A and B are shown apart, each in its own frame.
Chain A
Amino acid sequence: MTSPLHENEAIKRFSNYLRGTLKASMADELTGALADDDAQITKFHGFYQQDDRDLRQARREHYLEPSFGFMLRARLPGGVCTTTQWLAIDGIGRALTAGSLRLTTRQSFQYHGILKRNVESVIRGINKVMIDSIGGCGDVNRNVLCNPNPVESPVHREVHGWAKRISEHLLPRTRAYHELWLDGEQVTGPADAEPLYGETYLPRKFKTAIAVPPHNDVDVYSNDLGFVAIIENGALLGFNVLAGGGMGVTHGDTSTFPRLADTLGFIAPEQTLAIAEAVVSLQRDVGDRRDRRHARLKYSVERMGVDAFRNEVERRAGCRLDPPREAVFTDQGDRYGWVQGDDERWHLTVYIENGRLVDRPGASPMRGLREIARVHQGDFRITPNQNLIIAGVPACQQARIDALAREHGLLAARHSRLRLNGLSCVALPTCPLAMAEAERYYPDFLSQIERLAEKHGIADQHIVNRITGCPNGCARPYLGELALVGKAPGRYNLMLGGDGVGTRLNRLYRENLDEPALLAEIDRLFARFAAGRRPGEGFGDFLIRDAVVAAVINPAEDFHAAN
């Protein structure tokens, strides 16, 4: 028996290419929210209805609706933006949103707490500096990741060029975004059409990344579509194409699982767009539109099998994939501090805790970056680990920028290795999906793990660690060597066994632990690691070798298997 299509499919179909009744919803003065269907549609426009969950109960008691605000996520392929763009992003954030900026795990920035009446001004504001938010959320291709590699500038420029081209090639073609937020009036002309997506777009979100080995900061295997750049002697030969990765899981539903992308084969650069389009169109046609839990590409690949999937991609793209080239990854994280690139320019990677830029007494990162942007001659690059690279600094300006960064607390603290390898999603109070705290809680929690690491003499160890407030995986928790996945307020699943380079999924070790239990477990595990590790051995690898957890080989079969 086939179940009916998911209700979102009808919303998309009858939205007239993403218009819905948004005009009326935005004009409705009685509420800060949108009509339910429109709240689905705006995701495609890059913004997401949220409310401050801390205030919900109190506001209901005041006979007030929830404190609705919108999260808007920009499209910023590869995370690169100019200083002019940065100043605009910063100014809009302070004037029209909750006042902070959030760097995301997908190399973009997002605003929180935009009131309905300010949404249009925000979109117009970023548009003035040539940034849009199309497909920031929604069932389309999202912001395209690209290794921000500042050291090898010419290669980065070329690879980043492909990230932009993929992003633009896979953009929705509807004029709804311009019509609703920018032009104001409906443009007369031919009726809208979506040659690639069709009127129901994709069954679910679609994520694309480009990695440049040996760095896997983009966690390329966690994407629906991945490209691994193959470079020889400073020249881009092409890409290994990966498909079918994804993080999201539903608690208690063993038919859902995280999955690493399969490598389909190697292509020349000029085949990139055709392959990307082929994968998207295939997913458009075969993806599950009945159950959104099973609607990501990873389930399509799983259902079809990799060979059949590859054949269909080749047929649609009209080209053959060669056998994949060798690619080796050595890390998932960022390289902090100053490094000099091939072109003699300097690049400063600053650690931004949880990616949150907010000025507080003692540290003023927003102000610091604003002042840097006023003098900086290069660009900014948001990393897939929610950090920021001040890239392309000529030697003569290095001291000045260094001083500004220090003055505003961007380089102040000596952070532990644990902290520098941590990643957190936003979660409470704004994310409607959150089941437990993440961003607000993790800094304190990390302090406690740091003490344990010091106690066991392993503070120098890189341990890729992550936390999310729910199982959907925004901070890519299933690729951490140690990760917490929120289950309920104050309760987390403890995941163990990633390989520290993003090519092995971790596994559930203990379920539903509160903080004392988590710390007790981690204390025991650190003790065991400190006693039994081999030279150079990572934490995750040790846990597998020591049989603390069994490696995940085929997640569809064994992710939920008893450890």
Chain B
Amino acid sequence: MVSGNSSPLSSPIDAAAQRALEQLVRPLSATQIAWLSGYLAQLAEQAVANAAEDEPAEVVTILFGSQSGNTKGLAEQLHTRAQADGIGTYLLSMAELAPRKLAKLQRVILLTSTHGEGEPPESAYALHAFVMDENAPRMESLQFAVIGLGDSSYEHYCQTAVDFDRRLAQLGARRMLPLQCCDVEYEADAQRWQTDVLGRLVALRAKRPATVAARPLEPSETAAPYTKENPYAATLLENRRITTPDAVADVRHLALGIDPRLVRYRPGDTLGVCFRNDPALVDRIVERLGLDASSPVSQDDGAQPLGQVLTERLELTQVHPTTVRRWSEHVQASRLQAIIADPAKLRDYARRRQLLDLITDFPASIDADVLSGLLPRLQPRLYSIASSQAELDDEVHLTVAVLRYRRSGQRRLGGASGFLAERLRPNDSLSVYPVHNPSFHLPTPSGVDIIMIGAGTGIAPYRGFLQDRAAAGDRGRNWLLFGNRHFQRDFLYQLDWQAQRKAGLLNRVSLAFSRDRAQKVYVQDRVRTEARELFRWLEEGAHLYVCGASAMGEAVHRALIDMVGREGGLQEDAATDYIDNLRREARYHRDLY
């Protein structure tokens, strides 16, 4: 945890202090260290909060609301560049700032992504709700700049960023820079904007304070800061199918070996996985387009063979609407034009296709450079981590559903899931990086009851939660509500849950297997049947976690409102407020995808 490998960036502690810290930590057990990390995190949070109040004029606060880690990565970059320019900055996740403190800050840079139908990312939820509330305080003394990361194929493009920008101005805060919205390929715009922000801040002569406070120390920050640009080479230890051969979904438990001195994560965090496309898929694409895999394609680092570029650098298994639009410029097909003309149709078409489908549905003749120009860069995929380092500090576990389907009679395989489950061999190395997800961490301090709701692979983080709580001896009660198709076939990690119950950790279990009976039962139905007990737990202060597909998340959300309405005797509005309030209090955590 306190390692000699800490970079100067991540460790603001000098050599003497570092030695003292190492002496203190060495005799401690993993559990003690885990406790200490929480203790220190709290101290740090107080220090930052106090600092933010005490020296508002001196410091710029960089606030990020991130889900996939892209926005966070951008915020970290800005933080580093600001430090290099002598600008004092605090870097905080929006989830880490008590919303009311916002009005007391002087200069704030907000970076946020947007999800689904204009929803803020989970970590931005409370701050967003606070700002948007009609009773939000005036913020005349605040100066701000907002950047949003989004996807222009969605109707509510960068909506959260738009919300922050407009609303803060309404509340009397002053813009330092106009709102910047960035599309899927955000790097170039984001770089330009960073330069603008820094120029503006220098102009405002922000002074670097004598003592620089970095953001609160989290375990994941004390280790080397691996990112998607600078990933860590993990080793595949185990690839185990955890559904029966007759199950609909092929779900794998993957164990990756890591150096615990270099890679730290907390249960609830996600892991970015960099992957290579299937060479067989690349061959088929090249063949279908009548191209030559060895023909050179111009890249930033010079000409590279097409086959290699398609395998390692470009997105093939997810089709972005922009790609469809760009492709349509090379095709004479009225059906495609009709799709392009309707954003909803376009999104729907893109969501259910791979590149191979697009070029098969609408053949065109293009050269290698044009092809590489219309494909987005291959992005790593994020998976919820299914383990805790308190149990096994040199491993990280993932729960991966292998995306496998047929289209036009041909077999299609998910990009990353296919790579992980089918092409990667034990002892192979793969590039990963942990993504801090503070809005889905276990409650601190310990002793708080948690209700864990998940469907399918959404069960993953809860495995890490219970491992963590077992190691820490956390006495908070744990309730798992899990749904999948068949009890006999896809009750993910059934033996783990049984062992945790036997160990006294898992206090309550409610299951919904949708295909086991004539009448389908989903996890949201169990929320309703368990209403009385759920409400009691919430009234007693339990935290609520929901992980899994967005549709499930929305259905559970609806069921929660119904449950609160019925059990609390509340009207619809009041029940909705009750649930929204849980989110504002950071007691309702969601990780939906």
Q: Which residue of B lies closest to A62 (CB)?
A: B242
Docked CA distance A30–B508 (Å): 9
Q: How many A-B residue pairs have CB under 8 A?
A: 46
- Chain A, 115-129, contact with B by CB distance < 8 Å: what is the 0/1 string? 101000000000000
8 Å CB interface, A50-72 against B: 58-65, 67
The one of A32, A64, A67, A115 that contacts B495, using a Cβ cutoff of 8 Å: A64
Q: B510 to chain A: which residues have CB within 8 Å?
A: 29
Q: Is the beta-carbon distance between A65 and B516 smaller than 8 angstroms?
A: no
- Chain B, 229-246, contact with A by CB distance < 8 Å: what is the 0/1 string? 000000000001111100
Which of A59, A61, A62, A67 has the largest number of chain B CB atoms within 10 A?
Answer: A62
Q: Is the beta-carbon distance between B487 and A62 smaller than 8 angstroms?
A: no
Q: Which residue of A lies closest to B496 (CB)?
A: A63
- Chain A, 67-85, contact with B by CB distance < 8 Å: what is the 0/1 string? 1000000000000000000
8 Å CB interface, B207-253 against A: 240-244, 253
Q: A59 to chain B: which residues have CB within 8 Å?
A: 244
Least CB distance, B451 to chain A, in whole angstroms: 16
Q: Is the beta-carbon distance between A30 and B509 smaller than 8 angstroms?
A: yes
Q: Is the beta-carbon distance between A67 and B488 smaller than 8 angstroms?
A: yes
Q: Which residue of A lies closest to B494 (CB)?
A: A64
B39 in contact (CB, < 8 A): no
The one of B244, B253, B511 that contacts A29, using a Cβ cutoff of 8 Å: B511
Known: A29-B509, A29-B510, A30-B509. A64 touches B242 (CB 8 A): yes
Name the 10 nearest CB pairs between A and B, nearest first: A29-B511, A63-B495, A30-B509, A63-B242, A62-B242, A64-B494, A63-B493, A65-B494, A29-B509, A30-B498
Docked CA distance A322–B482 (Å): 68
Q: A64 to chain B: which residues have CB within 8 Å?
A: 242, 244, 488, 491, 494-495
B501 in contact (CB, < 8 A): yes
Docked CA distance A177–B587 (Å): 46
- Chain A, 211-233, contact with B by CB distance < 8 Å: what is the 0/1 string? 00000000000000000000000
Q: Which residue of A lies closest to B243 (CB)?
A: A62
Which of B487, B496, B516, B517 has the largest number of chain A CB atoms within 10 A?
Answer: B487
Q: Is the beta-carbon distance between A62 and B509 smaller than 8 angstroms?
A: no
Docked CA distance A30–B516 (Å): 15
Q: A115 to chain B: which residues have CB within 8 Å?
A: 487-488
Q: Which residue of A lies closest to B253 (CB)?
A: A63
Q: Which residue of B lies closest to A65 (CB)?
A: B494
8 Å CB interface, B448-497 against A: 487-488, 491-497
Chain B contact residues, CB within 8 Å of chain A: 240-244, 253, 487-488, 491-498, 501, 506, 509-511, 516-517
- 18 A-B contacts, Cβ less than 8 Å apart? A30-B494, A30-B501, A30-B506, A30-B511, A31-B494, A59-B244, A60-B495, A61-B240, A62-B240, A62-B244, A63-B253, A63-B492, A63-B493, A63-B496, A64-B242, A64-B244, A64-B495, A65-B494
Q: B491 to chain A: which residues have CB within 8 Å?
A: 64
Q: Which residue of B lies closest to A116 (CB)?
A: B487
Q: A117 to chain B: which residues have CB within 8 Å?
A: 516-517
Q: A29 to chain B: which residues have CB within 8 Å?
A: 509-511
Q: A58 to chain B: which residues have CB within 8 Å?
A: 244
Docked CA distance A65–B502 (Å): 14
Q: B497 to chain A: which residues have CB within 8 Å?
A: 30
- Chain A, 4-21, contact with B by CB distance < 8 Å: what is the 0/1 string? 000000000000000000
Q: Is the beta-carbon distance between A32 and B496 smaller than 8 angstroms?
A: no
Docked CA distance A32–B486 (Å): 12
Docked CA distance A115–B496 (Å): 21
Docked CA distance A61–B496 (Å): 12
Least CB distance, B295 to chain A, in whole angstroms: 45
Q: Is the beta-carbon distance between A32 and B493 smaller than 8 angstroms?
A: no
Q: Is the beta-carbon distance between B488 and A32 smaller than 8 angstroms?
A: yes
Docked CA distance A552–B397 (Å): 63
Q: B240 to chain A: which residues have CB within 8 Å?
A: 61-63
Q: Is the beta-carbon distance between A65 and B498 smaller than 8 angstroms?
A: yes
Q: Is the beta-carbon distance between A65 and B495 smaller than 8 angstroms?
A: yes
Least CB distance, B223 to chain A, in whole angstroms: 29
8 Å CB interface, A345-361 against B: none
Least CB distance, A50 to chain B, in whole angstroms: 14
Docked CA distance A30–B492 (Å): 11
Other A-B pairs beyond A63-B495, A64-B488, 13, CB < 8 Å: A30-B497, A59-B244, A62-B241, A62-B242, A62-B243, A62-B244, A63-B253, A63-B494, A63-B496, A65-B494, A67-B488, A115-B488, A117-B517
Q: A32 to chain B: which residues have CB within 8 Å?
A: 487-488
Q: Which residue of A lies closest to B244 (CB)?
A: A62
Docked CA distance A376–B128 (Å): 75
Least CB distance, A69 to chain B, in whole angstroms: 9
Q: A62 to chain B: which residues have CB within 8 Å?
A: 240-244
Least CB distance, B479 to chain A, in whole angstroms: 12
